[in-house]
Structure 1
Amino acid sequence: MNPEDFHGTTDPFVAEGWIRYLKVIFRYMEMADADRVRCTIYLLKGDAFLWWEGADRGVNMATLTWEEFKRVFYDKYFTSNVCSRLEREFMSLHQWDWSVAEFVQKFDRCCHFAPLIFNDVAEKLRHFLDGLRPTIRRDVMLSDHNDYTTAVAKTFRTELSLKDIYWEMQ
């Protein structure tokens, strides 16, 4: 494993993605909690290390857990204002003129910022279907899917069928 250094960022998705990347490595390596924290601090460089030099004054390094470190990290790089904005964006998400692939990518990226929807399988599916373009939603809903993954697959097939119909009409 070769974890990347973190130099700081103004893009919360980059910061959040870095933490998720580390979580995968740590889980794979079965690292102890204290080792996760030490490894993560070692990977902080540049502006991120300067931030940590100030942030570490507010924590007890002897008892700092991985979860506590993530909370401090997210307070800096993924503020509650950003989370609130992303949750509002997700709640009003619609496909509009995006392709299905673009909509699914945006939906998946933003979904976990609305945990009440993300953690409820039926609500996640309903919210996904509600955000689809009406011509696609109708075909997907006629198939009566009960899970998100199957509905996404049907959505891709429906988009392809609509493109074929449009091409045939030309």
Structure 2
Amino acid sequence: MPPPPVDSLTRFLRLNPPVFSSSTEPIVADDWLRKIGRELATAGCNDAKKVKFAAHQLDGPAAAWWENYTTTYPLESVTWTQFQQAFRTAHVSAGAMSLKKKEFRSLRQGGRTVSQYVDEFSKLARYAPEDVATDAAKQEKFLEGLNDELGVQLTVATFANYQELVDKATILEGKHQQMQNRKRKYGELAEAHSFDTIFAPRSRRSRRTVDVGAAGAPSPAVLASPRPDAADKRRHHLRDALDAPHLPIFFPVDEDHRNRRPLRHRRRAAVFIVAGHHHHPL
């Protein structure tokens, strides 16, 4: 015994048609309308059923719009073409579509990664299909928006298709990131080396004392222990202070540094620094 015939509504619902409520992206509403149209055609619906079944898949604000629309235009009189035109007018604004097209044409990578740029490029390209009608045009537009550090190197190469260009851009970005990480690491090492050099004591040159004998001839030279100079002492104290910031450091500060009086007449005060704060004594 053959199975009972399946009506068009059952066939349509078996396709899991999407539901539309609202969207800030006009292309989403346009996509819904196109997909519903394809599935209605697959289910073998006539014009009257297309309108009813499509309206059945509206929800939220879109369903409210449809109820208001049918108060002016009775459901039985609405054709499928009329439904599509009314839906696009309400949910696919021509002004919004135009703004999205301009946004695509001015799209630049900027601070995005290549992956993020690809996602934005693909999303906005749907608003300007004529700009990416061919694979060559799509590659050209993609290269135009890439940052110079990537675009300059990729422009001189040839790619079989758009996806190959995207893959190469992603690989090149990774290499650039590795170079930046190495530069940052070397910079930190150089900075640390410079800090150690500044606060390390200078090499002390040995002083030679000569013992003159009774006959006036010099005896073999004897190396005397050198004494650290004032700069070495300052560096030594400052290094100790950095290693133990909880200890107070006393620096004599000339309060009358602009006074041209002799040094013995100038008043001097001690300034001490404890844990990064400086204070004058009361």
**What TM-score, normalized to structure 2?**
0.51
2:80: which partner in 1?
Answer: 64
2: CA distance, partners of 1:108 / 1:162: 24
Indicate yes or no: 2:167 matched with 1:153. yes
**SS of the counterpart of 2:80?**
coil
Higher strand residue share: 2
Does the CA-based 8 Å contact 1:10-1:77 persist in structure 2? Answer: no
Residue 5 of structure 1: how far off its partner (Å): 2.9
Rg bigger for which structure? Answer: 2
Pick aligned residue for 2:54 from 24, 40, 43: 40
Does the CA-based 8 Å contact 1:95-1:132 persist in structure 2? Answer: yes
The amino acid that maps onto 2:146 is: L
1:142: which partner in 2?
Answer: 156
Between the aligned residues of both structures, percent identity stands at 25
Does the CA-based 8 Å contact 1:122-1:146 persist in structure 2? Answer: no
Residue 19 of structure 1: how far off its partner (Å): 3.9
Task: Provide structure 1 residue ranges, at least 5 long, that are not aligned to the other structure.
Answer: none
**Distance of aligned partners of 1:124 and 1:58 in 2 relative to their CA distance in 1, 3 Å threshold:** farther
1:94: which partner in 2?
Answer: 108
**Distance of aligned partners of 1:90 and 1:31 in 2 relative to their CA distance in 1, 3 Å threshold:** same
Deviations 1:82-105 (A, max 9, x none): 011001111100001111111111
Pick aligned residue for 1:51 from 34, 45, 65: 65
1: CA distance, partners of 2:37 / 2:169: 31
**SS of the counterpart of 1:151?**
helix
Q: Which has the higher contact order (CA 8 A, sep 6+)?
A: 1
Does the CA-based 8 Å contact 1:117-1:123 persist in structure 2? Answer: yes
1:105: which partner in 2?
Answer: 119
How many residue pairs match? The answer is 165
**What TM-score, normalized to structure 1?**
0.80
Residue 10 of structure 1: how far off its partner (Å): 4.2
Pick aligned residue for 2:146 from 132, 138, 161: 132
CA RMSD of aligned residues (A): 2.8
